[in-house]
Amino acid sequence: MNNHPTTLYFQNDVLIKRVYLKLEWCIEALNNPVRREIQPDGRIRYWVYVPELGKYLRVVTLSDGVTLHNAFPDRRFNP
């Protein structure tokens, strides 16, 4: 894992359950999102299209907009 900040949930659950995820895809979502939304709890959602998956990836950070908390292919996302 590189030095990008992550939650323990991201390290211990997300990356273990979704072994196909690449950290660079998550970072790309933060840097060049197709859409960005703030959730009611303050966390921030980012979407990016990942050609290797053939889907949009939703990445959720803590309210700081940097610390990775969750990531998954979003089947219902419509840009």
Residue spans per domain, the chain: 8-73
pLDDT at 79: 87
Q: What is the DSSP string of 6-43?
A: B-HHIIIIIHHH-TT--HHHHHHHHHS-SEEEE-TTS-
First-to-final CA distance of the chain: 30
Q: For residue 27, what are the β-bridge partners? A: none
Q: Phi/psi of residue 69, each to 5°?
A: -120, -35
47 pLDDT more than 90: yes
User: pLDDT by residue (tens digit) across 9-38?
Assistant: 999 999 999 999 999 999 999 999 999 999
